[in-house]
């Protein structure tokens, strides 16, 4: 019978930290929908689940444990105890692929919730490639995984130097700025790179040099009082929606 030892609890708890994920090679996901999607794309090392959930879902893992509510409460990071918690192998890094269609580039995004929201937006809008600067938050951070709600099964994140990547790119590079052109009026292409910048500082000066299409998401109505800015996750959703609305199909 499987034993949930204190040592294993400590090891699985270490996945909150980047060094813990690097040491174990694991990331964690919780909840039926999130785990169900990720099982399609990642190898599961451990699955802890209620008997009812296991009866309704086909799973493959190195270790599948029929867990009690008390066991799940020991492991969960959520307020409400989920029916399943899974621990997946982090895939090995692969080279950045050649460009096709729309690509989202993330410049120093720090909040894991924003990262997850952006990945979920990309998945919904058919963007399967995200390029992230090395100082962007880890997409396998537990909060990012939960916010993405399974989008990591469909969207691949590549961490690399953005300036080097953009320097070798020959298509249009878009970015959002307060002095940009109204996104609702500007022509938008069906392919290119869309750069989204840091929550507080926006796109860095180094990356800005490669942006040749400056966009602005204006508030409505013009001239009225508004909050200072949009959350980067919301801005990504609006931006991608505008690109998709111009497509023929």
Query: How does residue 225 score in pLDDT terms, banded at 50, 70 and 90?
Result: low
What is the average pLDDT across 116-144? 98
What are the E-state strand segments in the chain? 26-30, 44-49, 61-66, 84-89, 102-107, 129-132, 156-159, 173-182, 192-197, 213-216
> What fold is seen in the domain 102-245?
Alpha/beta knot (3.40.1280)
pLDDT of residue 203: 98
pLDDT of residue 249: 58
Lowest-confidence segment of 2-6, 100-104, 189-193 by average pLDDT: 2-6
Euclidean distance between CA atoms 225 and 88, whole angstroms:
46
The larger pLDDT score, comparing residue 45 to residue 225, is at 45
Residue 86 clears pLDDT 80, i.e. is over it = yes
Task: Give the tokens for residue 82.
Answer: 């989920």
Pairing of strands 192-197, 213-216: unpaired
Euclidean distance between CA atoms 22 and 14, whole angstroms:
10
Planar angle of CA 204, 206, 211, nearest 5 degrees: 85
pLDDT of residue 229: 75
HEC letters along 65-126 = EECCHHHHHHHCCCCCCCCEEEEEECCCCCCCCCCCCEEEEEECCCCHHHHHHHHHHHHHCC
Nearest residue to 76 via CA among 146, 179, 172, 163: 146
Query: How does residue 100 score in pLDDT terms, banded at 50, 70 and 90?
Result: confident
- pTM as predicted: 0.94
pLDDT of residue 4: 87
Give per-residue pLDDT as tens, 226-236.
Answer: 677 789 999 99
Pairing of strands 192-197, 156-159: unpaired
pLDDT of residue 227: 72
- Answer whether 218's CB lies under 8 Å from 184's CB: yes
Query: How does residue 248 score in pLDDT terms, banded at 50, 70 and 90?
Result: low
What is the average pLDDT across 23-41? 98
76: left (phi over 0), alpha (psi -120 to 50) or beta: beta
Query: How does residue 177 score in pLDDT terms, banded at 50, 70 and 90?
Result: very high
> Domain residue spans in the chain?
6-89, 102-245
Residue 99 clears pLDDT 90, i.e. is over it = no
Q: How many helices (H) and strands (E) does the chain have?
A: 10, 10
What is the average pLDDT across 141-158? 98
Residue 205 clears pLDDT 70, i.e. is over it = yes
pLDDT of residue 162: 97
Exposure letters 10-41 (e unless 16+ CB within 10 A, then b): eebeebeeeebbeebebbbbbbeebbbbbbee
Q: Please identify, in words, the CATH class of the domain defined by 6-89.
A: alpha beta
């Amino acid at each position: 019978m499987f034993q949930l030892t204190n040592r294993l609890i400590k090891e699985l708890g270490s996945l909150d930290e980047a060094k813990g994920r690097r040491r174990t090679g694991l990331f964690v996901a919780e909840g039926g929908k999130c785990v169900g999607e990720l099982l399609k794309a990642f190898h599961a090392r451990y699955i802890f689940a209620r008997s009812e959930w296991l009866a309704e879902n086909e799973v493959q893992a190195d270790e599948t444990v029929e867990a009690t509510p008390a066991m799940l409460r020991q492991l969960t990071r959520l307020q409400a105890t989920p029916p399943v918690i899974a621990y997946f192998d982090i895939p090995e890094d692969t080279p950045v692929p050649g460009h096709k269609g729309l690509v989202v580039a993330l410049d120093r995004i720090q909040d894991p919730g924003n990262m997850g929201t952006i990945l979920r937006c990309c998945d919904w809008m058919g963007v399967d490639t995200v390029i992230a600067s090395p100082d962007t938050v880890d997409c396998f951070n537990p909060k990012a995984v939960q916010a993405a709600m399974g989008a990591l099964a469909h969207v691949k994140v590549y961490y690399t130097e953005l300036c080097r990547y953009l320097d070798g790119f020959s298509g249009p590079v878009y970015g959002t700025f307060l002095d940009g052109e109204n996104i609702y009026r500007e022509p938008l292409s069906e392919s290119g790179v869309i750069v989204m910048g840091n929550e507080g500082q926006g796109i860095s000066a180094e990356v800005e040099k490669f942006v040749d299409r400056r966009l602005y998401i204006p508030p409505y109505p013009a001239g009225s009082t508004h909050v200072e800015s949009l959350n980067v996750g919301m801005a990504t959703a609006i931006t991608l929606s505008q690109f998709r609305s111009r497509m023929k199909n």
